């Protein structure tokens, strides 16, 4: 600390010494120019007599303008404005002191102006020279960068790139659709043209990276830009928050590759978190399936809302251990109770609920992989149907105030075992509402990016090894949403929590999975179908081309939030009839009678249309592109 203070003082003394020399030099040069290079003795006498006043006045006037606090290698407009202002103010003060203070009426009037202009040039020139030396003295930059967008954000970005020594980016040009900017330069970097000349620009400058400097660009614009650069082997990168960069809060080292989530229509941010906090704060919360993608994000967001305790119920110890440690490392201050357990174990579930007495329970535990559940329908029933029934009924017996089940768009007009078991789980939850004090709610949504086993990590792994990227069908489409946004809307749906309601999250438009694959390849700086092949392997068992959020026998109505809709069924089940059929279904699953399970599921959900069994012959496998799965005991084996 003492050494640092000493160095700072030494630096200040060094700057004051240099500025004093420049002040004296500017004053001498003013006399020299005024007298055409031959200063008479009387004028030299005036120069020597007034020099101490010039030095003291100029140095004192510089203090309020903080000229000694600037970092010269980052000299900019702010520094130059302060140099000009302090020099002009110093000229006025010098005139008053010389003319009226010491009464030197013979002091040449032009000296004041010449001295001020020369001082601005010298002080600014020295500082700008240091900045230029800093920029020229850095090692050669290896990564040629074209910046898309020559507005304020682009100007700030190129300025930061040139000044930073922590990157190897060499800005070689701008691309901007404003034709009036073409041929101009920003910090020495030329505006090369607009998107119509993209081919020639990319050929002429051969950049390695395109940096997007469009802070307000919407995902559709981003998707168009990605497609625009598809024919060229360039990485596309952005700064996380260009506005923060312009304000000086973001380091250039935070430049990152454009990610697939940047191309999605995002859920509007800024939803009021106050009602969610009122719902959660000070209450005991339990989450089943706490180690899964949705369950773990529920844990993160709920822990930040200050519950009195958080019970994490999960059958897989590794994922439970991971989310427990993450919450502990975050030091959220909430008591965390990790419980290893299966939702199908009624005794264990009831003991946990009686011990911790949760006020709100989020039920996220479920089997979700469609092809695997096609091969194991009995296991899907055990977990998705029986597990949901047990947790819901025990919640009602133990006085849980609110039960929220996480469902899926695959429960709508299902073609898969996974989807139909989730639809049956929805029916169970709705049927309990009429005879329990617990408020039961269901939230239904589609695919979430980055979840365990989801398509994006799969595609990235395939791209990493050189492809091919496998897509089931050229026309297959899916809804996509980011996990944090999905969970945020789940929590808002829980706040509304109308008894027996099914809420559907607004997922935006469905996206072609093949377009998703192509964008991921482009974002890796590669060309689809040239560097990385895309292979269509056929629909997997249980898959359908398009997902739906509302069934044929349902109608939708708005809720308090425009991002959430309420779904009502036109064909409600009578609770007693449903209970008896569920009992028979669970017994068939316990016996591993897969054919009977499918038959019963079709009876429970008339809109269930099984997509068929796995391919059984080598020829069928060649056509569909799938391999024969491992078949669990008791499931429908190929005939």
Q: Which long-range contacts (CB under 8 A, 24 or more apart) does 347-350 make?
A: 349/313, 349/390, 349/391, 349/394, 350/394, 350/397, 350/398
Judged by DSSP in three states, 242 sits in: helix
Residue 466 phi/psi, 5-degree rounding, is 95, 10
As given in the structure block, the two tokens for residue 402 are: 């609110």
Instruction: Characterise 455 by phi-psi region: left (phi > 0), alpha (psi -120 to 50), beta (else).
Output: alpha
Candidates 291, 336, 332, 283; CA nearest to 311 is: 336
pLDDT (tens digit, 9 = 90+) per residue, 296-325? 999 999 999 989 999 999 999 999 999 999
Instruction: Please state which of the ranges 145-149, 285-289, 306-310 shows the lowest mean pLDDT.
Output: 145-149
Specify the pLDDT at position 312.
96
Q: How high is the mean pLDDT of the chain?
A: 79
Q: Of all residues in the chain, what percent carry a pLDDT higher than 90?
A: 22
CA triple 530-531-535, angle to 5 deg: 70
Span 21-49, average pLDDT: 85
Q: Decide which of 81 and 337 is more confident.
A: 337
d(CA 558, CA 320): 36
Instruction: Please state which of the ranges 136-145, 212-221, 348-357, 375-384 shows the lowest mean pLDDT.
Output: 136-145
Owner of token pair 């011990």: 355
d(CA 293, CA 302): 14
Residue 486 clears pLDDT 90, i.e. is over it:
no
Identify the bridge partners of residue 558 per DSSP, sorted by sequence position: 565
Domain ranges of the chain: 14-136, 143-258, 274-624
What stretch of H or E contains 429?
A: helix 417-432
Q: How far apart are the first and last CA of the chain?
A: 80
Instruction: Please state which of the ranges 31-45, 354-368, 588-602, 603-617 shows the lowest mean pLDDT.
Output: 603-617
**What's domain 143-258's architecture?**
3-Layer(aba) Sandwich (3.40)
Residue partners of 586: CB distance under 8 A and separation at least 6:
381, 382, 385, 386, 389
191, 185 Cβ separation under 8 angstroms: yes
5 exposure class (CB count in 10 Å sphere: 0-12, 13-18, 19+): exposed
**Is there a common fold for 143-258 and 274-624?**
yes
Specify the pLDDT at position 635.
35
Specify the pLDDT at position 626.
35
420, 609 Cβ separation under 8 angstroms: no
Q: Decide which of 358 and 81 is more confident.
A: 358
Identify the bridge partners of residue 205 per DSSP, sorted by sequence position: none
C-alpha count within 13 angstroms, C-beta hemisphere, residue 278: 7
Residue 341 clears pLDDT 90, i.e. is over it:
yes
Length of the chain: 639
Instruction: Please state which of the ranges 187-196, 263-272, 402-411, 524-533 shows the lowest mean pLDDT.
Output: 263-272
511, 476 Cβ separation under 8 angstroms: no
Residue 268 clears pLDDT 80, i.e. is over it:
no
Judged by DSSP in three states, 360 sits in: strand
pLDDT (tens digit, 9 = 90+) per residue, 373-406? 988 999 999 999 999 999 999 999 999 999 999 9
Q: Decide which of 610 and 11 is more confident.
A: 610
Specify the pLDDT at position 571.
63
Span 533-553, average pLDDT: 77
Residue 475 clears pLDDT 90, i.e. is over it:
no
Q: Domain 274-624 classified CATH 3.40.50.720?
A: yes
Specify the pLDDT at position 531.
81
Question: CA-based diameter of the chain, in Å?
Answer: 118
Q: Decide which of 86 and 12 is more confident.
A: 86
Owner of token pair 């007034």: 50
As given in the structure block, the two tokens for residue 217 are: 């660009």
Alpha carbon of 631 to those of 66, 111, 134, 614: distances in Å?
Answer: 76, 97, 66, 10
Query: How far from the centroid of its chain's Cα atoms is residue 500's Cα?
Result: 34
Q: Which long-range contacts (CB under 8 A, 24 or more apart) does 60-69 make?
A: 61/86, 61/89, 61/90, 61/93, 62/19, 62/86, 62/90, 67/19, 67/123, 68/12, 68/15, 68/16, 68/19
Residue 149 clears pLDDT 80, i.e. is over it:
yes
Residue 494 clears pLDDT 70, i.e. is over it:
yes
d(CA 385, CA 372): 16
């Amino acid at each position: 600390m003492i050494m640092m203070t000493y160095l700072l003082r030494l630096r200040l003394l060094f700057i004051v010494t240099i500025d004093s020399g420049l002040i004296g030099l500017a004053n001498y040069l003013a006399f020299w120019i005024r007298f055409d290079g031959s200063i008479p003795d009387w004028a030299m006498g005036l120069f020597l007599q007034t020099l101490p006043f010039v030095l003291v006045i100029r140095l004192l006037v510089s203090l309020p303008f903080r000229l000694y606090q600037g970092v010269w290698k980052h000299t900019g407009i702010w520094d130059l404005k302060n140099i000009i202002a302090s020099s002009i103010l110093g000229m006025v003060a010098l005139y008053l002191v010389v003319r009226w203070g010491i009464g030197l009426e013979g002091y040449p009037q032009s000296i004041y102006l010449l001295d001020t202009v020369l001082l601005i040039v010298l002080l600014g020139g020295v500082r700008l020279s240091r900045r230029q030396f800093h920029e020229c003295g850095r090692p050669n930059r290896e990564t040629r960068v074209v910046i898309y967008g020559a507005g304020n954000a682009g100007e700030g970005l190129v300025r930061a790139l040139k000044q930073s020594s922590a990157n190897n980016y060499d800005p070689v040009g701008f691309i901007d659709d404003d034709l009036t900017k073409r041929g101009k330069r920003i910090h020495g970097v030329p505006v090369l043209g607009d998107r119509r000349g993209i081919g020639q620009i990319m050929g002429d400058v051969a950049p390695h990276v395109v940096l997007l400097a469009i802070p307000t660009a919407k995902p559709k614009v981003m998707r168009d830009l990605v497609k625009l650069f598809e024919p060229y082997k360039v990485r596309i990168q952005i700064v996380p928050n260009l506005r923060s960069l312009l304000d000086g809060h973001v380091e250039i080292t935070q430049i990152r590759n454009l990610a697939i989530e940047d191309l999605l229509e995002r859920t509007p941010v800024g939803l009021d978190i106050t009602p969610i906090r009122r719902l959660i704060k000070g209450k005991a919360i339990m989450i089943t399936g706490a180690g899964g993608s949705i369950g773990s994000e529920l844990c993160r967001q709920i822990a930040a809302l200050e519950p009195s305790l958080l019970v994490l119920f999960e059958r897989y110890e590794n994922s439970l251990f991971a989310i427990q440690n993450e919450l502990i490392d975050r030091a959220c201050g909430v008591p965390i109770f990790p419980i290893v357990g299966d939702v199908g174990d009624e005794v264990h579930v009831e003991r946990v609920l009686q011990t911790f007495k949760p006020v709100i329970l989020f039920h996220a535990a479920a089997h979700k992989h469609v092809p695997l559940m096609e091969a194991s329908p009995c296991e899907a029933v055990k977990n998705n149907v029986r597990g949901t029934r047990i947790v819901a009924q025990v919640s009602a017996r133990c006085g849980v105030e609110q039960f929220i089940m996480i469902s899926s768009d695959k429960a709508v007009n299902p073609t898969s075992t996974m989807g139909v078991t989730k639809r049956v789980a929805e029916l169970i939850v709705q049927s309990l509402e009429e005879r329990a004090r617990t408020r039961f709610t269901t939230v239904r949504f589609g695919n979430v990016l980055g979840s365990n086993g989801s398509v994006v990590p799969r595609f990235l792994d395939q791209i990493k090894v050189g492809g091919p990227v496998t897509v089931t069908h050229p026309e297959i489409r899916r809804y996509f949403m980011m996990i944090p946004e999905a969970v945020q809307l789940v929590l808002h749906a829980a706040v509304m929590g109308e008894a027996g309601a099914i809420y559907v999250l607004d997922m935006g438009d469905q996206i072609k999975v093949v377009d998703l694959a192509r964008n991921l390849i482009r974002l890796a700086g590669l060309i689809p179908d040239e560097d990385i092949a895309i292979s269509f392997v056929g629909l997997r068992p249980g898959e359908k081309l398009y997902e739906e959020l509302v069934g044929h026998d349902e109608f939708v109505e708005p809720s308090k939030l425009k991002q959430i809709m309420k779904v009502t069924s036109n064909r409600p089940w009578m609770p007693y009839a449903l209970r008896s059929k569920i009992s028979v279904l669970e017994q068939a699953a316990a016996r591993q009678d897969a054919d009977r399970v499918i038959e019963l599921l079709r009876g429970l959900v008339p809109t269930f249309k099984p997509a068929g069994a796995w391919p059984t012959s080598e020829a069928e496998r060649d056509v569909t592109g799938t391999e024969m799965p491992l078949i669990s005991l008791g499931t429908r084996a190929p005939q």
